[in-house]
Every structure is written in structure tokens, then in C-alpha cells.
Structure 1
Amino acid sequence: MRHAEREEHFHVDHMGSAADLVTATGARVLAGAADAPAVSGTAPEPPPVLSAAEAPLLEQVRSGMAEAGTPPLKHVRVDVELRDGDVLDGWPEPAHVLHVPGHTPGSTALHLPAAGVLFTGDLIGTGPDGGRVVLGPFNVDREAAVASFRRLAALPGVDTLCVPHGIPVRTGAASALAAATPETDWL
């Protein structure tokens, strides 16, 4: 039987339960190669470089997590370090790994070209109505994040955009990506 896989980067909202899931299910942990040391706890997490608009949002997120009693982050061993050009089998079609640094040094996106589906990771989010595509906040390198955003926006045939924060774009994702202005988001 094949174990479940969980793709991670080192922020608590994405890897906070990874260690418990590994214990409960035997899942394998996949992470961008440059994020693997922070996920496993062998290197410190680089802090985000915050814009004036992001600072109060991050404080609100941290406050909410403290009020909710979010437990401390548990680091977990990374089983597979993902690199640009890797292909993940076992999906309905091969999932192509794209290294899209900026949100974190090892941020990755997964592209299923035949289906026209793109999983963006935290690099990209959507507004409350799901129609506006934006650069995700809390990036460690804003310039790299914008360049990575533009790389994803240039992918051919993307119709569906799956984002971890916001509402998925179910049709017309290429147009939404083309209309986006990541250079001015969060300023």
C-alpha cells in the first residue's frame, strides 16, 4: 500500500501537523530542497521581509494563533527533497515540480499540464471572491517572489488555480494570472 504524501514548507500553518500525520499515517514528507533544513529543524527559519501592509496582518495572524492555543511547531524529517523539474508520479497525471522561491527559499508549485491545473503554494492567493489573484504575503524575498509569480503566470494552458489561502480559480486562471499585479500587492 502506498503511503500518503504531504508537501510542506516550514511555516506553522503548513507543517504544524506534519509530524503528527507522519506518526498517525506513515505519510512521507516532501519539501522544497532549500526548505528541508528548516522543516527538519536543522536550520533556522528565515524571517519574512514585511511591507507596511503586511506587518499588522502578520501580528493579527500570530495573535489569533496564540488565542487559539496553537501548539509549538514540531519539526519533522523530510523524506523527499523536491527540485525544479522533478515529476511526482501517482497522481491522475504526472505532477511537475516548479521551484518558485520568494515566499520561502524552497517554495514549490505543482503543475499538471494536461489537466491545466496549478497548485501554487503560498506564492499566490486570491481575494475574498476568488476572482482577484494576488501575490501571497510574508515573503522572505519579495523580488524573487514576484519573479516566481511571473514564471507561473507564463505557464501555458493553466485553467484551474489551486491556492492554499483563498478561493480556487476554477476556470480562466490564465487570464486572472495575466491581469494580476504582484509588483504592487501588499505595498
Structure 2
Amino acid sequence: MPGCRVDHLVTSGTFRLDGGSWEVDNNVWIIGDDTEAVVIDAAHDADAIAEAVGGRTLRAIVCTHGHNDHVDAAPALAERTGAPVLLHPDDEPLWRMTHPDRHPDGQLADGQVLTVAGTDLTVLHTPGHAPGAVCLHAPELGTVFTGDTLFQGGPGATGRSYSDFPTIVESIRNRLLTLPDDTIARPGHGDSTTIGEESPGVPDWLARGH
């Protein structure tokens, strides 16, 4: 049987926060084999995500954080598949902005391990972009799913409500840059990068501030 793999889907929609709105493209990551899978960030289009999952059993819908563009399709995908929606409790205030009448099905916690297709995904709590932001580290796949915490070229945005620049830099330094340099970082938007490519930028981030 083929081993665990990472499938990638890009969906498009609107990010809304603090009275503003922006058109965005989101990365949806699907980790699994031919029989089961986990979705990271059910963004914008439940139908497209369900089609990409196909006939596999969806074990969980993991939210890297509670911004609407990362969770807007989660309830619909959960309804279609029966999979639980998982979110760090610190991001429930953001979740409720999008889904006031529907709670997540379960909580994510730092150090928690989710297993799919024989592969472990370890939850790393990485606040800063959002209070309950998490990354998912899959050492067997040589990858970490970074949500909006770390992008190619630097940290996620911290100029809006519930975000903090010193906190995100601390999260990246202590939780992500400690991973092997060749670890592929797969973010919530844009191209993938590696931990080694981003490490030299830390002094520039600190000097720039927000």
C-alpha cells in the first residue's frame, strides 16, 4: 500500500478582520494515504476539498488558527465527512466571528500527536499571528505545516487584532527554527520554503519590528 503523502489544494476567497476584507488564495494541505487523511485548514471551498479527499476516511479537520479564511469551510466539510474540527482553545474568539452558532468539535494542545496513515503530526503551539495559532510537525515526512506563522521570507502578519509581533518571533525562534534545516515549511499562503532558508532572516525581523 502506498505510504503517507501530502496533497496540496489552493482555494480562493475573502479574508475579513477588523472591518477590512482582502481577496486571498489559501493553501489546503491533505495528509494521508489511499484510505485515510487529515485536512489542515479547510479554506473557502468545502466541495473542492471533499473532492480532493475523495473516498478516503477523513480523520480530522485541523485549523492552524481561527481566522475566517482558514476555517470558513470547516463546518460544511465536517458535515459532509463526519470528521471533527479541531482548534486551539485560545483561538475560539476568532472562530466565533465566523461561526457564532457552531463550536469546534475538539481542542488542540501543544505536544498533542495526531496520527494518520501511520504518520505522526505533532502540534506546536506558536502564538503571535493569532493567540491559538499552531503548526503541525511531521518529522517522518520532513515537513512542518506552518499556517500563517512562518512564510517564505518571514513571519506572518501581526498588525491586526489578537496578534503580536514579539510573540510570533519568539514562537518561530523557539519552536520552528529548532527543527532540522532541511525541514520543508508548508504555509497557509504562498510557496513552501525550508527552515534553513528562513533562519538567517531572524536578525532582520527583529530589526524591522512591527
Q: Which residue, 131, 136, 139 being the options, matches 1:113?
A: 139
Q: Which residue, 166, 189, 192 being the options, matches 1:165?
A: 189
What is the percentage of aligned positions where both structures have the same residue? 31
Pair 1:26-2:79 in alignment: no
Where relative contact order (Cα < 8 A, 6+ residues apart) is larger, the structure is 1
- Against the structure 1 CA distance between its residues 33 and 12, is the aligned structure 2 distance closer, same or farther, given a 3 Å change threshold? same
Shift in Å, 1:174: 2.8
Residue in structure 1 matched with residue 149 of structure 2 by the alignment: 123
The CA RMSD over aligned residues, in Å, is 2.2
Q: Which residue, 156, 167, 174 being the options, matches 1:136?
A: 156
Deviation sequence 1:100-149 (CA, Å, 0-9, x none): 011111110011123321111111122xxxxxx31111351111111011
Residue in structure 1 matched with residue 36 of structure 2 by the alignment: none
Describe the SS at the equivalent of 1:138: coil
Name the stretch that deviates more: 90-99 or 174-183. Answer: 174-183
Deviation sequence 1:160-184 (CA, Å, 0-9, x none): 1101111012xxx132121223325
Stretches of structure 2 that go unaligned for 5 or more consecutive residues are: 1-55
Number of equivalent positions: 147
CA distance in 2, matches of 1:37, 1:125: 24
Runs (4+) of structure 1 exceeding 4 A deviation are: 184-187
Pair 1:155-2:176 in alignment: no
Name the amino acid aligned to 2:166: E
Name the amino acid aligned to 2:167: A
Deviation sequence 1:13-47 (CA, Å, 0-9, x none): 101111222222222101112113542x2xxx6xx
Shift in Å, 1:5: 1.8
Residue in structure 2 matched with residue 74 of structure 1 by the alignment: 99
